[in-house]
Amino acid sequence: MKAALVGPMGGVTMEDVPEPSPGEGEVLVKLRCCGVCGTDLEKVQGVGITTKILGHEAVGEVEDVGKGVTQVSRGMRVFAHHHVPCLSCEVCKRGKTTYCAEFAKHNLVPCGLAERFVVPKFNVDRGAVIELPEGLGYEEASFIEPLSCCILGVENARGTGVGSAVIYGAGPVGLMIYKLLRHAGVEKVAVGDVSEYRNSFSRKVGCEIVFNPANPEEKERVIRGPMPDGPELVVVATASVVAFEDATRLAARGGTVLLFGAPKRGATGTLDLARLFLNGTSVVTSYASSERETQAAMKLLADGALAVKDLITHRFPLSDSEQAFAAAGQQQCMKALITD
């Protein structure tokens, strides 16, 4: 069986791995679609801060279930969450489930980018295998995980209640956050990227306020017109330290900066703490998502309330995973999917 793994020296390698079979309490899923995420790219580049296991946007069809599994059956079309919290520790009881010490200890085996993968018992027992609604295709369903992360990020930043927002980073998650804010009724949302391809793409999906953060004069002109006092919310949907530092200077008095893009390993930044203090700027972070946001994302997609297919630019079979990652790492790609 073929699987896409991080190579010993980085990069993506297609390897033959043993055919998996579900043990007691486990579920075996045949891969149908999985998106290539920015954090996957960081893993193969050797700068990721999370596990090296690739593929966490996987959806597919249940091929077999282990002894004792009753809530999932063969033939079921499912999304399988790669991480789940224990739901019983003090962190979970405080509602911060994605920071549970157990959260990242359990993952799809051998990974989400394999012909077949096993969902471990720990995940299955905590509801991580979710049946897809009828009519929700595999391609759109592969956005459940990243969209759910965006939902939690916006919630953590109390973003649905603001009147203005700026998003640094016009990649797939940046544009999904844009769509979520607009869906929530936020009228003024600006999107900025240093890539002209991504800025152009932003305009194609409906963004009316677009700027290049590397051009200070353009940024000032584009943002200060509709947001003279600055944006109430600034989302950093990129790993760029420069973008984060700039965001803390851009936010309106009493505003919020959401650090959403996963920083690269060892990343550090310089902040004007006195400015943050005097302006009352809140800095919040958001990592991953729980089953609550997963269900919310699935409902948005199934109801057609939030479109994502317009973000797909590339499709590859699993056997071409190396090419998929090469394309996803270029600036002429928005969302690359691996389909089988």
Please give the Cα distance from 74 to 109 (Å, whole number).
18
Q: Are domains 2-148+288-339 and 158-285 of this chain identical in fold?
A: no
- The domain spans of the chain are 2-148+288-339, 158-285
Record the tokens describing residue 99, joined without a space. Answer: 């920071």
Please give the Cα distance from 253 to 121 (Å, whole number).
47
By C-alpha distance, which of 159, 79, 169 is closest to 124?
Answer: 79
How wide is the angle at C-alpha 98 spanned by C-alphas 321 and 169, nearest 5°?
A: 55
Type and span of the H or E element at 14: strand 12-16
Just give the CATH number of 2-148+288-339. 3.90.180.10
CA dihedral 287, 292, 293, 299 (to 10 degrees): 160
Q: What is 39-51 written as a DSSP string? A: HHHHHHHT--SS-
Are 195 and 168 in contact by the 8 Å Cβ rule? The answer is no
pLDDT tens digits in sequence order for the chain, 340 residues long: 999 999 988 899 999 999 999 999 999 999 999 999 999 999 999 999 988 999 999 999 999 999 999 999 999 999 999 999 999 999 999 999 999 999 999 999 999 999 999 999 999 999 999 999 999 999 999 999 999 999 999 999 999 999 999 999 999 999 999 999 999 999 999 999 999 999 999 999 999 999 999 999 999 999 999 999 999 999 999 999 999 999 999 999 999 999 999 999 899 999 999 999 999 999 999 999 999 999 999 999 999 999 999 999 999 999 999 999 999 998 899 999 999 8
- CA 275 centroid distance within chain: 30
Record the tokens describing residue 8, joined without a space. Answer: 């010993």
Coil, strand or helix: which one is 168?
strand
Q: What is the pLDDT of residue 130?
A: 97
Are 339 and 33 in contact by the 8 Å Cβ rule? The answer is yes
Over residues 256-281, the pLDDT tens digits come to 999 999 999 899 999 999 999 999 99
Q: What is the pLDDT of residue 331?
A: 83
Q: What is the pLDDT of residue 332?
A: 92
Neighbours of 199 (CB within 10 A): 17
Q: What is the pLDDT of residue 213?
A: 97
**CATH class of domain segment(s) 158-285:** alpha beta
Please give the Cα distance from 296 to 151 (Å, whole number).
8
Q: What is the pLDDT of residue 175?
A: 98
Neighbours of 29 (CB within 10 A): 29
Q: What is the pLDDT of residue 340?
A: 83
